[in-house]
């Protein structure tokens, strides 16, 4: 546990000072919400504005983008050239992975909550008393995002091929999930493709929770994220080899 | 012709890792194809949700008339998820029928609501389908949407292809290059040409497959291939420019995605230029998408290639500016190393 504590603190320090983490999870979503909100302001009503819509859809999207940041953060020992120290240090694989996992989850979840709070204040977003439920969903999403990111960065053998293309499926999921503009279709094939995007369900969960007082989707999605995160982190600990740092 | 050495060498290096090379070559084609098909299929004007209870003949008649109207689709909505479906765009508007009246729910602007309200009132009086083009007049056409999507996507993938330059900087290849008699122009030109060939190949295959599938997007095949030269040149110059700024692939990929998304938003990819707030219409001059969509619009109207030379020159200017920035950045690196 002593090693875990030290590594955990180091992880927290690094993540909280990482300009890209802060930029991509707080500044970028805020800019995009303002920009898209302003851009489409004429298309929405006065009660539910475009800023409200983009607050709901952009924050989970940027949180999902965190997979890329986490997968690179997983390999930072390579960048800092400290791989051999970790190879020889008497630290268990579980401690190494869990320290990275928890530090990333905390910082990513905090970033999402800060962005949500900024949007709440800037655009007078009403959550109808469901703010904490949305926070819960975002925390669960951070767990899944971090788990997948660490799995790709530490345990996936062909990560060198995958790393360049991680942003493509996420941007596509974003399109399908209605991140840039509402997307929906009555055509069965298109509708099925749209439903393949996790962001479709995240957005449905958030909106149905706030505006239809229906927590069912939000619960299913949150539990799903937790399960994915736990499975991914379990697989990472199982398949992780310290040589991945070299 | 020394740039040809860099160009050929990049291919050799790519082919050395065949799986990675072919995935990076073919994956964008699959995604562009999917994007084209999705944009082509998703062309309905308005989805209308209908809610009624019991045997409401009036509601059924109106629903049938709405479904018979070109560009409008009407479906029964789930009453306890109405707000969710409206906000997430499943329905543009939901009509709730009572015995003698109806109410409309939507998050759209008043004008859209008013138009749909009039249409329904009209159908209650007379359920003969009418022309509902007034709902469509401000939307982007299929050609505009598809072209803008391809440019957006290829700009992201071209940055990924250009990350070979970042690898060169990190593994010392660039340093070795400096010891030879070559210069930054040769290096950048070789990389840009390599990236251009890859990007244009992806564009060519995607567009050719679209043609083979018989998907008509409103621009002739040959015209689309010519547009591709500017698409590939712009994407390549931008990607090379981004790769010249960073020593880390993640930073380059993430930042390029950010910039591309923002530029495409203000350029009219998602909302037509004339529908944007006035302030953004002025700012949009800095976005290549605005000029690109302008060219596509002109070609859709049946104009010939160089009849709309103004936006074409501006796009070329973007290519030159991005290339010069990449060149200057690499020259600075050389000076720094010396």
pLDDT-based confidence at residue B43 (cuts at 50, 70, 90): low
Whether the Cβ atoms of residue A153 and residue A159 lie closer than 8 Å to each other: yes
Which of B97, B95, B78 has the alpha carbon at shortest distance from A214?
A: B78
B155 and B232 share one domain: yes
pLDDT value of position A185: 73
pTM score:
0.83
Candidates B20, B44, B107; nearest CB to A48? B107
Rounded to a whole number of angstroms, the distance from the CA of B285 to the nearest CA of chain A is: 15
Domain that holds residue B243: 3-41+139-337
Which range is least confidently modeled, A29-33, B86-90, B180-184, B258-262? B180-184
Rounded distance, CA A225 to CA B69, Å? 42
Domain C-terminal end among B71, B104, B135: B135
pLDDT value of position B338: 47
Residue ranges of domains in chain A: 2-245
pLDDT value of position B337: 52
- Beta-carbon contacts of A97 under 8 Å, excluding residues fewer than 6 positions away, are A150, A154, A233, A236, A237, A240
Complete DSSP assignment for B127-149: ------GGGTTTSPPHHHHHHHH
Distances (CA, A) of A195 to A173, A185, A198, B169: 10, 10, 7, 42
Q: Let me know how long chain B is.
A: 338
Rounded distance, CA B301 to CA B317, Å? 24
B216 and B250 share one domain: yes
Say whether A165 and B251 touch across the interface (CB within 8 A): no
CATH code of B115's domain? 3.40.190.10
B130 and B152 share one domain: no
- For every one of its 246 residues, what pLDDT tens digit does chain A have, with 9 covering 90 and above? 677 888 888 888 988 888 888 888 899 899 989 988 888 888 888 888 999 999 999 999 999 988 988 888 887 777 777 777 777 777 788 888 898 899 999 999 999 999 999 999 999 888 889 999 999 999 999 999 999 999 988 887 776 667 667 777 888 888 888 888 887 777 787 788 888 899 999 999 999 999 999 999 999 999 999 999 999 999 998 888 777 666
Helix (H, G, I), strand (E, B) or coil at A139: helix
Mean pLDDT of chain B, nearest integer? 83
Rounded distance, CA B259 to CA A103, Å? 28
pLDDT value of position B334: 60
Matching residue, tokens 């007379």: B126
Rounded to a whole number of angstroms, the distance from the CA of B244 to the nearest CA of chain A is: 16
Q: Does pLDDT of B257 surpass 70?
A: yes
Say whether B38 and A193 touch across the interface (CB within 8 A): yes
Candidates B41, B87, B109; nearest CB to A43? B109
B259 and B299 share one domain: yes
Which of A89, A94, A96, A107 has the alpha carbon at shortest distance from A74?
A: A96
> Which is it for strands B102-105 and B46-51: parallel, antiparallel or unpaired?
unpaired
Rounded distance, CA B20 to CA B1, Å? 28
Q: Does pLDDT of B218 surpass 90?
A: no
B113 and B186 share one domain: no
Nearest CA in chain A to B162: A164
Strand partners, A44: B108
Whether the Cβ atoms of residue B138 and residue B111 lie closer than 8 Å to each other: no
Q: Quick one: CA dihedral B41, B35, B271, A39, positive or negative? A: positive
Rounded distance, CA B322 to CA B196, Å? 14
Rounded distance, CA B165 to CA B244, Å? 7
B236 and B291 share one domain: yes
The stretch B87-113 carries a mean pLDDT of 84
Say whether A190 and B41 touch across the interface (CB within 8 A): yes
- H helices of chain B, in order, are 3-16, 18-41, 57-68, 82-87, 110-125, 142-171, 173-179, 184-212, 221-245, 249-266, 278-283, 288-300, 309-337
Nearest CA in chain A to B44: A185
Rounded to a whole number of angstroms, the distance from the CA of B157 to the nearest CA of chain A is: 8
Chain A contact set for B160 (CB, 8 A):
164-165
Q: Does pLDDT of B236 surpass 60?
A: yes
Complete DSSP assignment for B148-165: HHHHHHHHHHHHHHHHHH
Strand partners, B95: B50, B104
Rounded distance, CA B95 to CA B121, Å? 11
pLDDT value of position A107: 93
B286-316 CB burial, b ≥16 within 10 A, e <16: ebbbbbbbbbbbbbbeeeeeeebeebbebbe
Q: Does B114 touch chain A (CB under 8 A)?
A: no
B164 and B245 share one domain: yes
Domain C-terminal end among B107, B135, B163: B135
Exposed, middle or buried by CB within 10 Å (0-12, 13-18, 19+), for B331? Answer: middle
pLDDT value of position B336: 57
Say whether A42 and B109 touch across the interface (CB within 8 A): yes
Q: Let me know how long chain A is.
A: 246
Chain B contact set for A182 (CB, 8 A):
87-89
> Which is it for strands B93-97 and B102-105: parallel, antiparallel or unpaired?
antiparallel
Chain B contact set for A207 (CB, 8 A):
83-84, 87-88
Which range is least confidently modeled, A132-141, A158-167, B166-175, B323-332? A158-167
Mutation for testing the A interface, residue in B76, B158, B250 having most A CBs under 10 Å = B250
Say whether A182 and B89 touch across the interface (CB within 8 A): yes
Helix (H, G, I), strand (E, B) or coil at B222: helix
Domain C-terminal end among B112, B135, B158: B135
Rounded distance, CA A86 to CA A82, Å? 7
B149 and B267 share one domain: yes
pLDDT value of position B36: 74
> Which B positions 219-278 lie with beta carbon below 8 A of chain A?
248-251, 253-254, 257-258, 261-262, 265-266, 270-271, 275-277
ipTM over 0.95: no
Which of B164, B195, B160, B154 has the alpha carbon at shortest distance from B13?
A: B164
Query: B18-41 and A188-196 helices cross at what angle (nearest 10)?
Result: 130
How many domains in chain B?
Answer: 2
Angle among Cα A113, A118, A119 to the nearest 5 degrees reads 100
- The distance of Cα A239 from the centroid of its chain, to the nearest Å, equals 23
B78 and B205 share one domain: no
Chain A contact set for B81 (CB, 8 A):
208, 212, 214
């Amino acid at each position: 546990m002593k090693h875990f504590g030290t590594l955990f603190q180091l992880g927290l320090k690094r993540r909280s000072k990482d300009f890209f983490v802060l930029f991509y999870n707080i500044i970028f979503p805020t800019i995009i919400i303002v920009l898209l909100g302003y851009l489409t302001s004429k298309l929405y009503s006065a009660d539910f504005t475009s800023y409200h819509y983009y607050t709901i859809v952009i924050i989970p999207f940027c949180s999902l983008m965190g997979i890329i940041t986490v997968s690179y953060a997983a390999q930072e020992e390579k960048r800092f050239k400290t791989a051999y120290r970790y190879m020889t240090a008497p630290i268990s694989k579980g401690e190494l992975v869990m320290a990275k996992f928890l530090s990333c989850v905390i910082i990513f979840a905090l970033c999402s909550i800060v962005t949500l709070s900024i949007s709440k204040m800037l655009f007078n977003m009403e959550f109808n008393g469901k703010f904490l439920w949305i926070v819960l969903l975002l925390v669960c999403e951070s767990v899944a995002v971090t788990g997948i990111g660490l799995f790709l960065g530490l345990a996936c053998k062909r990560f060198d091929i995958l790393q360049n293309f991680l942003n493509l499926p996420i941007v596509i999921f974003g399109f399908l999930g209605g991140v840039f503009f509402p997307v929906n279709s009555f055509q069965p094939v298109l509708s099925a493709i749209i439903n393949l995007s996790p962001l479709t369900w995240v957005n449905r969960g958030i909106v149905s929770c706030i505006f239809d007082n229906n927590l069912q989707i939000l619960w299913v999605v949150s539990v799903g994220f937790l399960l994915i995160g736990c499975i991914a982190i379990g697989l990472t600990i199982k398949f992780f080899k310290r040589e991945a740092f070299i | 012709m020394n740039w040809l050495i860099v160009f050929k060498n990049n291919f050799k290096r790519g082919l050395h890792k065949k799986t990675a090379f072919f995935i990076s070559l073919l994956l964008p084609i699959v995604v562009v194809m999917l994007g084209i098909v999705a944009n082509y299929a998703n062309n309905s004007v308005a989805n209308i949700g209908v809610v009624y209870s019991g045997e409401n003949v009036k509601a059924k008649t109106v629903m049938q008339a709405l479904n018979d109207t070109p560009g409008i689709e009407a479906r029964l909505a789930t009453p306890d998820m109405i707000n969710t479906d409206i906000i997430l765009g499943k329905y543009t508007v939901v009509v709730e029928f009572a015995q003698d009246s109806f109410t409309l729910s939507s998050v759209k602007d008043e004008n859209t609501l008013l138009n749909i309200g009039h249409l329904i009132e009209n159908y209650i009086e007379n359920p003969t389908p009418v022309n509902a083009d007034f709902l469509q007049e401000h939307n982007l056409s299929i050609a505009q949407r598809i072209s803008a999507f391809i440019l957006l996507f290829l700009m992201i993938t071209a940055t990924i292809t250009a990350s070979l330059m970042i690898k060169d900087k990190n593994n010392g290849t660039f340093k070795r290059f400096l010891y030879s008699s070559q210069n930054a122009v040769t290096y950048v030109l070789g990389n840009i040409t390599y990236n251009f060939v890859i990007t244009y190949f992806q564009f060519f295959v995607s567009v050719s497959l679209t043609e083979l599938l018989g998907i008509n997007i409103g621009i002739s095949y040959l015209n689309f291939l010519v547009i591709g030269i500017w698409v590939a040149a712009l994407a390549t110059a931008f990607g090379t420019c981004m790769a010249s700024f960073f020593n880390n692939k993640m930073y380059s990929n993430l930042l390029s995605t950010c910039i591309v998304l923002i530029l495409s938003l203000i350029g009219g990819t998602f909302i037509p230029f004339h529908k944007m707030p006035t302030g953004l219409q002025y700012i949009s001059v800095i976005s290549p998408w605005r000029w690109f969509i302008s060219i596509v619009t002109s070609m859709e109207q049946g104009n010939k290639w160089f009849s709309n030379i103004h936006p074409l020159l501006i796009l070329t200017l973007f290519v030159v500016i991005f290339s010069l920035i990449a060149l200057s950045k690499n020259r600075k690196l050389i000076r720094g190393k010396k």
